[in-house]
């Protein structure tokens, strides 16, 4: 992931997307041009109805773009079959969702192993375990591998989800409101994790409606009415770690804000 920084991971050219048919057609995207380079940390923002979700579904290969072109790591997504898109999601994409979307009553380790089960290459059991443990270690949860989601805090669950997203070495992480269900301090922790991963060279695309989250990114894209209305680098990018430390100073009790046992 760290190689060839600057190469385009995502290239959207005049992407349209229309839902419905006949008189009730709704244009969600009306010609989006977007180039995302390796190593970027991008925030996609916009009010609801701006086409944000549609763009995310297309970027995530969950939906096909209408007219226009989408090259993911050089692969033309528009012409791929359902199964080929599934393979692409498996190998090139890591999803992080607002409500974590972990499999309940399944250990953290097995949740992280899950994407590898669908990998087109055969992966041995031993390798499966090794890579899952490695991914968990990367998000700082090596000691929680055997825990089930309901035994983990919201922040920990999101970390498991991030480990799951990382395990197949994706071209980029696609995070949809990853801090939407988390308290302030835990949000900083998760953003810190994203920043660290980004520092290691991972491309991160963050879809959010919280302006403060976009300040941790390197670039902000704002959508409105299905078009990109702003696309600029973030001036004065903030460090989530510093903000977390500042938060801890302001709330010296530190309490257990980040350790509620039941989340979601």
Partner 1 sequence: MKFLIVFRIALRAIGRNLMRSLLTALGIIIGVGAVITMVSLGEGARAEVEEQVSRLGQNVVLVFPGARQLGGVSIGGGSANTLTVEDARAIREEIPEVVAASPEVRSQRQVVYGNRNWFTRIYGQSADYLQIRQWPLEAGRMFDEEDVALARQVCVVGQTIVDELFEGTDPVGETIRVRGLPLTVIGVLSSKGMSLMGSVQDDIIIVPYTTGFQRISGRSHAMVINVQVYDADAMDIARLKITDLLRERHRLAPDQDDDFTVQTQEEVAAMATETSRVMTALLASIAGVSMLVGGIGIMNIMLVSVTERTREIGIRMAVGAHGKHILLQFLTEAVLLSVLGGLLGILSGVAATNVIAHYAGWPAALSEQAVVLAFTISAAVGITFGFFPALKASRLDPIDALRHE
- Residues lying near partner 1 in the complex (CB under 8 A): 57, 60, 62-63, 82-83, 86-87, 89-91, 95, 97, 101-103, 105, 114-115, 117-119, 122, 164, 168
- C-beta of 5 vs 26, nearer to partner 1: 26
Query: Which residues have a Cβ under 8 Å from the Cβ of 26 and sit 6 or more positions away?
Result: 18, 19, 20
- C-beta of 116 vs 213, nearer to partner 1: 116
- C-beta of 12 vs 112, nearer to partner 1: 112
**Minimum distance between the CB of residue 53 and partner 1, rounded to whole angstroms?**
9
**Minimum distance between the CB of residue 57 and partner 1, rounded to whole angstroms?**
6
Query: For residues 239 and 233, what is the distance between their CA atoms, to the nearest angstrom?
Result: 15
**Minimum distance between the CB of residue 255 and partner 1, rounded to whole angstroms?**
31
**Minimum distance between the CB of residue 70 and partner 1, rounded to whole angstroms?**
16
**Minimum distance between the CB of residue 175 and partner 1, rounded to whole angstroms?**
13
**Minimum distance between the CB of residue 141 and partner 1, rounded to whole angstroms?**
18
- C-beta of 57 vs 184, nearer to partner 1: 57
- C-beta of 105 vs 249, nearer to partner 1: 105
- C-beta of 122 vs 126, nearer to partner 1: 122
């Amino acid at each position: 992931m760290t190689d060839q920084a600057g190469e385009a991971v995502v290239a959207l050219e005049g992407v349209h997307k229309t839902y419905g048919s006949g008189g009730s057609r709704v244009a969600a995207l009306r010609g989006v041009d977007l180039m995302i380079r390796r190593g970027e940390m991008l925030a996609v923002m916009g009010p609801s109805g701006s086409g944000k979700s549609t763009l995310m579904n297309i970027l995530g290969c969950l939906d096909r773009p209408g007219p226009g072109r989408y090259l993911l790591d050089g692969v033309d997504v528009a012409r791929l079959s359902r199964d080929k898109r599934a393979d692409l999601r498996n190998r090139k994409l890591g999803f992080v969702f607002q409500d974590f979307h972990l499999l309940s009553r399944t250990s953290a380790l097995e949740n992280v192993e899950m994407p590898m089960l669908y990998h087109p290459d055969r992966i041995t059991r031993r390798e499966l375990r090794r890579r899952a443990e490695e991914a968990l270690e990367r998000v700082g949860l090596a000691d929680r591998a055997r825990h089930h989601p309901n035994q983990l805090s919201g922040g920990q669950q999101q970390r498991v989800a991030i480990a799951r997203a990382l395990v197949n070495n994706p071209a980029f992480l696609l995070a949809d409101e990853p801090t939407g269900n988390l308290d302030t301090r835990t949000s900083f922790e998760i953003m810190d994790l994203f920043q660290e991963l980004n520092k290691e060279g991972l491309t991160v695309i963050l879809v959010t409606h919280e302006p403060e989250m976009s300040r941790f990114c390197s670039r902000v894209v704002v959508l409105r009415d299905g078009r990109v209305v702003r696309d600029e680098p973030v001036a004065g990018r903030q460090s989530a770690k510093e903000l977390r430390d500042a938060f801890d100073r302001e709330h010296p009790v530190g309490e257990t804000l980040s350790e509620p046992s039941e989340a979601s």
